[in-house]
Amino acid sequence: MTSTSLSPPRVKVCGITRAEDAALAVELGAIALGFIFWPHSPRAVSAAQVGEIARGLPPFVSLVGVFVNQPVDEVLATARAAGLTGIQLHGDEDAAAYAAEGLRLVKAVPVPEAFTADALTAIPSDVTVLLDAHDPVRRGGTGRTIDWTRAAEAARLRPIILSGGLTPENIRTAVRTVRPYAVDVSSGVESAPGVKDESRLRSLFAALRSESVEHA
């Protein structure tokens, strides 16, 4: 029998509102930080806030802005003002509207009970898919997990970012089951919305570092 090791996925820490949380996430190994620009979110920030936070970060950290059904012109203006390197569309937007803008695109796809991987075929290959819990009101940050078996089917078709209720306690099982390209964490490492918990962040990254799953 042979065995192979499963490398830890890349990590995006989303819902950042404080400079100290951003710095810790990057120190622990996050390659991307997510900032919520949807005004109805308890984690909403302004372009000016993101600019201040970004000034204290090392180079090559991806700054991803999260938007929900906001006008294209507004999204692009915010991206420029905040110095974003990527845009995450978390509503019903058409990613094609941003194709010529030179920004990395992430499209959030809700995973209801009837979800099948075929639902992703309409999304262009140069757009990264993020799978999250289905909630048409809160649009993310719900703390609810998705069906990891269905997510695994999607991950076999294309690279995906796994989101939805990921915590230090369940991250290893989630990674083992889905084998995502990346994971997106938010509420599972918080003490309050937009306030990351240092102990939980450290525990999550420690769990990922120790994840060396052996497959027969």
- With 90 as the cut, is the pLDDT of residue 133 above it? no
User: Known catalytic residue: 92?
Assistant: no
How are beta strands 190-192 and 182-185 bridged, if at all? Answer: unpaired
The catalytically annotated residue of 73, 126, 132, 147 is 132
What Å distances lie between residue 52 and 111, 117, 144, CA to CA?
Answer: 34, 39, 31
How far is 173 from 98, CA to CA, in rounded Å? 35
Confidence of residue 216 (pLDDT cuts 50, 70, 90): very low
161: three-class secondary structure by DSSP: strand
Where are the strands (E) in the chain, listed by range? 10-13, 32-36, 62-67, 86-89, 104-111, 128-133, 160-162, 182-185, 190-192, 195-196
- With 90 as the cut, is the pLDDT of residue 103 above it? no
User: Known catalytic residue: 14?
Assistant: yes
pLDDT tens sequence across 172-189: 999 999 999 999 999 999
Q: Where are the domains of the chain?
A: 10-209
- With 90 as the cut, is the pLDDT of residue 118 above it? no
Predicted local distance difference test score (pLDDT) of residue 136: 54
Average pLDDT over residues 22-28: 98
For 10-209, the fitting CATH number among 2.60.120.260, 3.20.20.70, 1.10.760.10, 3.40.50.10320 is 3.20.20.70
Q: Which pTM value belongs to this model?
A: 0.91
The catalytically annotated residue of 14, 73, 92, 184 is 14
Collect all residues with Cβ–Cβ distance below 8 Å to 203 and sequence separation of at least 6.
168
How far is 200 from 191, CA to CA, in rounded Å? 9
Burial class (CB in 10 A: 0-12, 13-18, 19+), 125: exposed
Q: Measured in whole angstroms, how far is the alpha carbon of residue 161 from the centre of its chain?
A: 6
Burial class (CB in 10 A: 0-12, 13-18, 19+), 31: middle
Whether the CB-CB separation of 50 and 63 falls below 8 Å is answered with yes
